[in-house]
Amino acid sequence: MSRTATNLNPFQAPSIASPGVQAKTSQLPPLFTDRHIYLASFLGTPLAGSLLMARNHQRCQDSQSAAITVVGGLVATAAIIAVTMMFGELLPPTSGIFIGIGYGMVMQSIAKRVFGKRLEIAPAVSHGNWKAAGVAGLCLLGIVAMLAVVLSVSQA
């Protein structure tokens, strides 16, 4: 059986999406993807990732889940800071990168579980990587300022 030029190319995307898919995507607001949440968490602690997840909850009109997500991110960040301050001297110098990868992957899997199919159907936020990096930088700035105040008060 030979293929002719009139047969459809199985490797070429269809030129027009089905009306059902267009209707679903036009109703959903743009969301931060799980990759954006991973990037923000890796660069700026779980607090940054939870802020992006909270923004997704707000865009889906679920403000109660948004508040719970931010509180969870604050608790996770405080726990990581406390553990690393207590046991930091026992850890190898390069362990920080692996800790960051670890909680970044945890936040990414939580985002996949919470938002599920919505992440696949909804359009991604434009310039999402830059926005994730900006949120991460602001979170780090706040955490460093808070730690500087705590350390200066404790040494006084």
Tokens matching residue 18: 């089905």
Residue 116 CA: distances (Å) to CA of 1, 18, 130, 138, 151: 42, 21, 23, 27, 41
Q: Above 60 in pLDDT, residue 132? A: yes
pLDDT of residue 85: 85
Q: Is the pLDDT of residue 23 over 80?
A: no
Q: What is the pLDDT of residue 15?
A: 57
Better pLDDT: 91 or 141: 141
Q: Does the global pTM surpass 0.85?
A: no
* pLDDT band per the 50, 70, 90 thresholds, residue 7: low
Q: Which pLDDT value is given to residue 88? A: 83
Alpha-carbon distances, residue 110 vs 30, 37, 96, 105, 106 (angstroms):
19, 10, 21, 9, 6
Question: Does residue 70 register a pLDDT over 80?
Answer: yes
Cβ-count burial 143-154 (b if 16+ within 10 Å, e if not): beeeeeeeeeee
CA distance 12 to 102: 37
Q: Is the pLDDT of residue 20 over 60?
A: no
